[in-house]
Amino acid sequence: MITVHHLENSRSQRILWLLEELGLDYDIVEYKRDPDSAAAPESLKKIHPLGKSPVITDGELTVAESGAIIEYLLDRYDTEKRLRPIDGQALLDYRYWLHFAEGSLMPLLVMKLVMMKVPKSPMPFFIKPIAKAITGKVQEKFILPRIKPQMLFIEKTLGEHTWFVGEELTAADIQMSFPLQASSTRMDLSEFPNIARFIKQVEAQPAYQKAVAKGGAFTTL
């Protein structure tokens, strides 16, 4: 039996979605974030030394990292080859987006989140304007010039077809769902209608809704 070690409001939500798409039975072990720091609990380190989520166990096997988990589940359980192209350019595009999600887009979104939170953190009142000014400049000069071209590229891709690799859902869409949902809380998506459409499309999927029902209310922080 597969067990998902599910940290609330985390990337593990998309693993639940994948399992629902594959029609697999699984158990969920839930972990709550620290209410002040939003950090994962120490108990998660009993499953994996870094104490991060997602992590799954399948019998004697332990698999961590979203991309690695996705590949493992598809290799072992996607017998109909429904969620990953078989070959050609479609397979290359699939692999690109599978790695782009965490390798290119998510680091910038995490950095943006940190820059948004710093000015709101407790600090002496006379430091707040300085913190706000510095983090604002970091966003303006470093983060936004790097993240906007990526968002425009995604927007163009989603304008060409329904999903990232064509007209059918693949696991690349599942992998890309979290960073794009996160972007909606950190950026104005009014100039990215195809991305906004993709997010609504994801959240309308029956398997996604089942995953949310089992994993609990979900936000990207």
**Mean of the pLDDT values across residues 17-32?**
93
Entry pTM: 0.89
pLDDT of residue 218: 66
The single-letter DSSP state of residue 140 is I
- Which among 7, 11, 19, 4 has a CA at the least distance from the CA of 182? 11
- Of the pLDDT bands very low, low, confident and very high (cuts 50, 70, 90), residue 41 is confident
Residues 44 and 52 sit within 8 Å (Cβ to Cβ): yes
**Which residue spans of the chain are classified as CATH 1.20.1050.10?**
88-205
The 3-class SS string of 85-107 reads CCCHHHHHHHHHHHHHHHHHHHH
Close Cβ partners of 166 (under 8 Å, ≥ 6 residues apart)? 90
pLDDT digits (tens, 9 = 90+) for 44-100: 788 888 878 899 999 999 999 999 999 999 999 999 999 999 999 999 999 999 999
Q: How many residues does the chain have?
A: 221
- Supply the CATH classification number for the domain 88-205: 1.20.1050.10
**Mean of the pLDDT values across residues 189-212?**
95
**Which residue spans of the chain are classified as CATH 3.40.30.10?**
2-83+209-215
Q: Look at residue 53 and give its three-state secondary structure.
A: coil
pLDDT digits (tens, 9 = 90+) for 142-197: 888 899 999 999 999 999 999 999 999 999 999 999 999 988 887 889 999 999 99
CATH class of 2-83+209-215: alpha beta
Cα gap 40→50, rounded to integer Å: 10
